[in-house]
Copies of this chain bind each other. A is one copy, B any other.
Amino acid sequence: MSSTDQPKPGADHPKNTSGITMRDVAKAAGVSVATVSHVVNDKPGSRIGEDAKRRVHEAVAELGYRPNALAKTLSQGHSRFIGLVADAIATTPFAGQIIHGAQDEAWRHGYVLLVANTDGNTAAEDEAIAMMLEHQVRGILYSTWFHHEITVPEALLQTDTVLVDCYAAGSGLPAVVPDEEQGGRTATEALLAAGHRRIAFVNTTTPSPAQTGRLAGYRSALQAARVAFDDALVFPASPEQEGGYAATTAVVDSGATAVFCHNDRVAMGLYDGLRERGLRIPDDMAVMGFDNQDVIAAHLRPPLSTVALPHYELGAAGVRRLLGLDAALPAGPQLIACPAVPRHSV
**Interface set of A (CB-CB < 8 Å, partner B):** 3, 6, 8-11, 21-23, 32-34, 37-38, 41, 43, 67-71, 73-74, 79, 88, 90-94, 96-97, 99-100, 103, 107, 112-117, 119, 121, 123-124, 126-131, 133-136, 154-158, 240-242, 245, 265, 268-269, 272, 275-276, 293-296, 299-301
Contact = CB atoms under 8 A, between A and B. Distances in A.
Given A112-B131, A131-B9, A265-B295, A99 B117 contact: yes
Q: Interface centre among A33, A67, A136, A154, by most B CB within 10 Å?
A: A33
Please list the 10 inter-chain residue pairs (A to B) with the smallest Cβ-Cβ separation, ordered nearest first: A93-B93, A69-B134, A241-B299, A34-B155, A9-B127, A3-B119, A91-B100, A37-B158, A22-B130, A93-B294
A127 B94 contact: no
Contact of A22 (B73, B88, B119, B134): B134
22 contacts: A9-B116, A9-B128, A23-B126, A32-B155, A33-B154, A33-B155, A34-B157, A37-B133, A41-B158, A70-B79, A70-B136, A90-B90, A90-B100, A91-B99, A93-B295, A99-B115, A112-B131, A113-B115, A115-B115, A245-B301, A295-B296, A296-B296
Given A34-B155, A93-B96, 9 more contacts: A3-B119, A11-B127, A69-B136, A70-B70, A90-B99, A90-B103, A91-B96, A245-B301, A275-B276
B114 A112 contact: yes
A13 to B, nearest CB: 9
Given A74-B71, A123-B8, A135-B69, A299 B99 contact: no
Contacts of A265: 295, 299
A100 B307 CA distance: 29
A22 B70 CA distance: 19
B73 A70 contact: yes
A107 B118 CA distance: 11
A157 B38 CA distance: 10
A154 to B, nearest CB: 5
Contacts of A133: 22, 33, 37, 41
Nearest to A80: B131
A38 B156 CA distance: 11
A101 B216 CA distance: 40
Contacts of A268: 299
A272 to B, nearest CB: 5
A276 B274 CA distance: 12
Oligomeric state, in copies: 2
Given A34-B155, A34-B157, A126-B33, A100 B71 contact: no
Nearest to A7: B124
Contact of A275 (B71, B242, B275): B275
Q: Interface centre among A21, A116, A158, by most B CB within 10 Å?
A: A158
Given A100-B90, A265-B299, A158 B34 contact: yes
Contacts of A91: 96-97, 99-100
A86 B3 CA distance: 14
Contact of A116 (B21, B70, B103, B136): B103
Q: Interface centre among A68, A91, A134, A135, by most B CB within 10 Å?
A: A134
